Amino acid sequence: MGIKNKQNKIIEYIQNKCHSRNIEILLYPGVSIPYPYPNGSMFVSGFFSPEEQLLAVAKKGKDSFETLMHEFCHFIQWEEQCKDWTNCSIEEYDAEMLIDLWMRYIIELNKKQLNKYIDLVRNVEMDCEKRVIKFAIDWDYPLDIGKYVQKANSYLYFYTVVKKCRKWSNKGCAPYTFNEIVSEMPTHFANDYNRMSDVLVSLYKKECLGE
């Protein structure tokens, strides 16, 4: 089976699974999507929101099919109510929303709170990335696993930059879109994403934040 046919089979499967739980799939006509949708200040390649009953992917984004698999694996986390997913719920908010509010200076977080929320979000993202790899293997999809892990790591390390700079990446400037950043990443998941060299932090700031 050719890769296009394989992708179509996977898309059909994802659509059926999502529709069975009343989740709409949105293929957004751009390289990135405002989050929270539709008027958020963060721009992302995709997202899954059970509250909005929406799984969205920027169809013109780099590696959009990988993004679709990633967001579907967030759907699976939610459907299973896995520990990493439920840990992100903090009263009426989730950890990612609290970080977004902090970045926009709507709320203040002390160091302990910020470290906790960053760790919670990074944990759910790492679990999701591992699920993507297993999903690709189960479907015999030709995912370059070493390269995928490098791109995943570029995103996981980025949360340390967020913590340092109180900013999200500029529109269309996600870390995994820059070969200069991805090439610096290991091909295995790291044990500590808080340890970054000043040179690497500067590279993120230059490429993702425009500083």
Mean pLDDT for the stretch of residues 170-199: 95
Domain that holds residue 138: 3-209
- Residue 7 — left, alpha, or beta (φ > 0 → left; ψ -120 to 50 → alpha)? alpha
- For residues 28-48, give the mean pLDDT: 88
Specify the range with the lowest mean pLDDT, choosing from 11-20, 30-39, 190-199: 30-39
DSSP bridge pairs for 27 = 57
Which pLDDT does position 195 carry in this prediction?
94
Per residue in 109-159, pLDDT (tens digit) is 999 999 999 999 999 999 999 999 999 999 999 999 999 999 999 999 999
The string of DSSP letters for 2-60 reads -HHHHHHHHHHHHHHHHHHTT-EEEEESSSSEEESTTT-SEEESEEEETTTTEEEEETT
Mean pLDDT value across the chain = 95
CB 32 within 8 A of CB 174: yes
The structure tokens 């509010």 sit at 101
Q: Are 163 and 126 in contact (CB under 8 A)?
A: no
| Cα atoms found within 13 Å of the Cα of residue 99, Cβ hemisphere only | 27
Average pLDDT of the residues in 32-47: 86
Give the pLDDT of residue 1.
72
Query: How confident is the model over 62-72, as a mean pLDDT?
Result: 95
pLDDT class for 17, splitting at 50, 70, 90?
very high
* 118, two tokens: 């960053």
- Angle made by CA atoms 46, 160, 200, in degrees to the nearest 5: 100
Residue type, 42: M
Evaluate if residue 41 carries a pLDDT over 80. no
- 91 pLDDT more than 90: no
**Residue 35: per-residue pLDDT:** 86
Q: pLDDT above 70 covers what percent of the chain?
A: 100
Q: Can you give the pLDDT at residue 210? A: 95
pLDDT of residue 61: 85
45-60 tens-digit pLDDT: 999 999 999 999 999 9
Q: How many Cβ atoms from other residues are within 10 Å of residue 22's Cβ? A: 8
- What CA–CA distance (Å, rounded) separates 98 from 93? 7
Number of domains comprising the chain? 1
